[in-house]
Every structure is written in structure tokens, then in C-alpha cells.
Structure 1
């Protein structure tokens, strides 16, 4: 939890240096959240793990058929199938993997599944214990079937990639981007066909067209059905973070390609370049779970803390006069404003000061009770009502006032991307000590890392760490 009572340090106002690319934004008429409205849904990509689960399940059933007599019962077959699927096939990355590189992994998972089955059967049905011969036969059949079926799946995927490669945009300095694009075009087995370069200025050397405005990028995405993005310079992720997030939300896969360090170790390769996929789009699968957690926790805490909230309100009214609740406009998800609620611990001179001055209070001038509320973060308990209403979440990037949002969007790359998720009472930046007079650049980086790697368990961990911080309050 944070408060609005500090001045950004000089380090917080430092502009990040790097490749100075154009700030490419979606053109007018795009949908909220930065999606390109006319972007056609991409055709199915051969990267889904579902076919691998299917073939591994079929291989497990074939392996189970080697069991004989009383061993061949529904329960052992179900246990073997469950163990094989729970170990889970890895998701294929372009270029499509082959069977030989995966052979050790497939054999290892199969061996673990059969050993687990043997242990369970020996523990619960000793009379049907599997012999070493039965284990070896079942293992051999399942491993061979899994490899053969995977080979068929991979052959089909390669055919699809060669026939319908994913069109891509390459983002980075024009010279580097043209070099990477040319290498990818020379290797059709990548399954990727670059159609344009996004850079700050044309390089004048020919090659693919260089896109320098948001309108050109949008037109290229719509006309070419772009389904992949290659970020070929380290600064592209920071300087063009908003564009990468927008393209990811539009359905594009975002890849970070290391075009300058051949020794950089990565298992995935694209035309020989080390690469890795960036999960830029906000996870949607768990959004219902996140909202359910917000409602349950905020509702329970409001009920339990009701007497405490009433006591704080009465004490504030007695010692500081009327106007117990402080209301202030903040910017939430997708840039939408909302009214944030807090207990009033300081009275700014006027509305202009409250809206535009970062430091609205000198803590030494506060009354003792107000200072206690600020130090313990009890002044922010009213934000649980914002959470219950849906303005905020328990965990997320902290909301800021419109005046500072407008400033920070221009100063810090990736700041606008924080608003692709509902703002929170606490967040990853706060539990790492980024509260009060700390770097906005660092907060932005932690907030985007939280969104990129979001999980419900991460929310629970942040809430527990926040609770531990409240036990030993240091102020906010």
C-alpha cells in the first residue's frame, strides 16, 4: 500500500537511455485497450500442446495393453494415463522440434509414469505387482508409440508452416532489423515471413519497408494479417513496450531475438538466432478467479474491519473536524478514471494542489492520530470498497492521478502498459520496497513484470507479504 505524501527523487525522474525509436501508437478508431479493430483472427497455429497430449495419451493406452491377466484392469490403465498426462508434453516452439532431440525427455517421462504405476500397484494390490519384464515391455511400447505419433504430428506442423508461414513485423534499429529479416526469409523452415520493419527512421538501404508511424503499423497488421512480432534489440522491449503489448493483445506472438550475441544460450532458435517468446498479453484464463478472490477477501475484510473503520472515522472527526473521507480521481484499467477513497490524513491548500503536487503533506505537521494512520496504512482500508465495487483489485499496479499519468507516460517507456490490468491496493513493486520516494522507472518495471507473469498464486503471495509488512509498518 502507498500514500501520496512524497516527492519523486531525482533518480525517479531519470529518463532511460537506449535506442530512440518512434513512439508508435494505435491510430484513431482503435478499440479500447489498443486492439486493432479490423485485425482478422489469425488461423490456427500448430503450436497448441493439445495434439501432443492426445498422442501421449494414446501411447499410454497402447503401453497399458501390454499388461496381462488381472493387471489389465481399468484402475491401472487410468493411473498410467493420468501419470503420463500430468507430466505434460512441452509446448512446441518454432522451428518445430524433431523427435530425436525430444527422445530423452519422452523416455524419461515414460519411465517415471511406469515406475509410479508399479509402486502404486505394489502398495495397494501386492498380488498384481508388475514384474520387471512387464515394466520393460510396457515402457518400450509406450515410448515407441509416443515417438512415432509425435513424428506424425511434427510432420503435419511443418507442412502447415511451410504452406502458410506466420507474417511478422520486426521491431528494432533499422539496420539490425533488416539483417534479421533477411536471414529469416532465407530460412523458410522457420515458418515466419517478415513483411515490415518498425523503426524510428528509414535506413535507406532498401529491403523491407520501414514503418515509422502508428498508422503505418496498423495498416500493415490489418492488410498482411500479422501474427508474429520479432523484437531484435534489447531497447525494443522498453522503448516500444506499449506497441508490443498492443500487438500481443491483438493476437500476435511476440518473440525477443538476440541478434548481437551468438554465444547467448537459448534452446529456441530462429534462423540460427537465439530467441525466446515473451508473454506480453494479459492472462485472461484466471480473470474470473482473480475477481472472485477480490470479492471474497475485500468483502470479508470490510465486515471484520467494520468496527475499526468506524472508530477511525469517529476519531478523525473529533480531532480533525468534518471531511473524514478523502476522495481523489485516479486512473484505472484501460486509462479509465475512478474515485479512490481514503481516510483524510492531511488537508491540501486547494484542489489544484491535491491534483498536481506530488507532495501534499509534511508528515511532521500531521496530528498524531493522522500520522499513525499513515504509518500503518490504515488510511487506505477504505480502498477495500473500491475493490468490492470493481474499480480496483487487491493486487495490481498502484493507481496514480491523471496529472502524473500524463507526465509519466511521456517520460518512462512502458508506463502506459501498466494500465492493461486493474490497478491494486498493493502490488509487486510495493512488496519490493518501492513505496514513497522511490524510482517511478523501477515501479514501472516491477508492475509490468507482475502483469506479464500473472498468476493467482502470485497474488496470494503478494497479499501475504503485504500483511507481513503491516505487522512491522515502516510508513508509506
Structure 2
């Protein structure tokens, strides 16, 4: 098994191991510096090393890597981009985080010299570990070999995702076994149906069979070799439904495979009063803290908007919230006053000429979203959840996209899983792709997943990802 499920969220085991190894190295580097530099008077490090200080250093630096999306991006990156991402994670995010903590806990401060060498050694050591990891994960000796049973649209879609995303996860799809004469997959990717499935898997070192059939009850529905698949599963070869494979590997729900019975019987989509209370308590605590910290930035942003385009500085729109209830959302205005002078709702587009110069900056940095803290305090939104959409768009999307209403069974949020995984949505097709991530969040959301989303949103803000 190459993954674990922690609090309903799937984690790939190689990356968990990598994270633990890096954490141990970071802890060891800080402790080693205490033994080497402190006796020479080159750093304010305690000897023997203080456990809490070393632990603080390792936690903050690891959080910096998570914040920059370092783990899942690294296999697809060049050595240069990996170096730059590590540098930003450690020198900027990690350094800033440690500076704030040392201000609050001065006894843990190793001094500027000690911190400098700790960050430098940590960056070099972790970069070396990641370069080795890239080669190991991509090695044919450790990859998971997968065969797809099915050769229709779903199998073709899975192959497309494999080329763009799954190879980085240590997966090799060796081909597809057609289940019917109606095929979408190319001949070069087809495998003749084996006479003995288990022997075929042994010969080709297949560790998993993914069932990606079209609807079997339709006219084009194909055959399913149940006895062969049972034998494979009972003898240690995983047999996985296509929708579960998508969810596990890509952290989204493939909409084309969703049917009502899957939602009803799946292990997820559970409402919990205890969790709702804990989430509300966390929302109030964080929103009040953010309001306190962000208040000066909101004032400066409001003054900049007023100086460029005058009043009003704020604007509001109706949005659809939990259980379909409409509420009024508040933002700092980033568009011209006549952005929708005809009263018709329009998607924002790339290089939208309605966006002002100040508006472009505050949209990139998400400063325009800060007034929504008020909506969080009122209980209309959460810190984490699917982004709320305008009623005009919801009516259209509900008609065109199956299961679109399911996203309204979770409270909308300031930040969300779909915002991390997919760029800004400006069409029905974009909304369809984002719903796949919203469904994954609705099914598997937990406080731990919310924390992960909060940390990773730092990369979205710093790099201006998904903005229009």
C-alpha cells in the first residue's frame, strides 16, 4: 500500500516518509549547530541543545515547505525550480515565521548567526534529499504498475490525467483492457484480454487493477470478469473502482463516475454536530485574530481604492450559502464603478479591462477578500469551504452540471480545496472541474484538512495563483 488515510484525507506514503525524514534532518541540524557553534561563541544556542527550540525550528521549516506546495510539486520540477521553491519556503516563509516566534519567545532565539547557518544548512541538506527522492520515486523499481479495465471515455480520461499528474505520484499505467467493442482509447494503449488475470498480473508485476467501465446497464455496457477479479483481490492484488482511484490519487471526485448511490453509501458526506461546533469555534478565533492583524492593511487598501477611483470603496453581492440560503458578501472594490452597468452578471476573464490598477494588486494578494471576515463572524461563511457563487450563476450551473447542489451542504469559505487545485473559474466547464474538488472536500472535510488548506493557501497568495 502506497498511501495512508488520515482523518479521511489520503496521503501518499512516499511523501509522508519524505516529510518525516526532512523533519528529522531539520531537528538534527539545529541540535548539531548548538554543539558546534555555541562553545565557540558564534551563536546564542544552548549546550546541550534545547529540545523545544530545535522542535520549533523543525516545525516552522516543515510548515514553510507545505505552504509552498513543495512536496507534491517536486517530482514535476526541474532542479532549478526545486531550488527556488525550497529557498522561498525556508528563507522567506520559514525565516519570517521564526522571527515572529522569536519575538514572542526570545529565550528560543539562537541569534542571527545561529539562525543564518541553521537555515543555510537546512536548505542545502533538504535540497539534496529531494533530488535523491526525485530519482527514487521515478525509478521503475519502486513505481506502482497499474492496469485499467475499460477502454471507453472514462479510461481515456484517466489516461489523460495520468500523463499530466499521476506519473509524479510513482504510478505507471501499463495499458487498458477493453470491456466492449466501443473504444475511445487508442490501439497502442490496449492490452489483449488475458486468459488468466492473476498470472497476467504476476508476469507484468501489476499491483492494482482499476475498473473504469462505461455504464454496464447501457447498450454499450461491457463484460466484467468477476471471478478473475475476485481471485486477484484475494491473492493480494488491489482491485479498485475508478472513482475511488481518482479520489485517492488526485484528491478529487471524477464527476462522470458519480451516481446517487455512491453518495448515499460512500464513507463520507457525514454531518457532525461536534465537528460543526469545533469548526465554528475555530472560525471565530481565527477571524477575530485576522481582523486584528489585517485592520491596518484594509485601511490602506481602502485609501488606495478611494484615491484611484473614488467611492464607494466596498461593494456587496448576493451569494448562495449553505443549504441554498442567500446572503450578502462584502469585498473591497477591485473593478470600475461601471463594471456591470447593464445589471447583468458576467464571469471575470483573463486580463479583464474592468479591473483597476489597484484592483489588480489587491486581487493578486487577496486583500479584496478581507471584508468577508465579517461574513465569517456572522456565521454565513467559514474560513475554509467551497467559494460561494452568485445566484445567477448557480441557477445556470445547477441546470448544466450534475450534483452541483451538493456543494451547498457545506458552509462556503474564504479559502477552499478547489482554489488550491484549480485556477480561477470563468466558465461552466471551469465550474465543473472545480466541483470535482469541492465534492472531495464535502466528502472528506475535517479540521486537519482545513488546517492543511490554510497552510497551502500561503502559496496561492504569494504567487498570485488562480487570479483573474
Is TM (by shorter chain) over 0.5? no
Which structure features the higher share of helix residues? Answer: 2
Structure of larger gyration radius: 1
Under a length normalisation based on structure 1, what TM-score does the superposition of the two structures give? 0.42
Which protein, 1 or 2, shows the higher relative CO under an 8 Å CA cutoff with sep ≥ 6?
1
Under a length normalisation based on structure 2, what TM-score does the superposition of the two structures give? 0.42
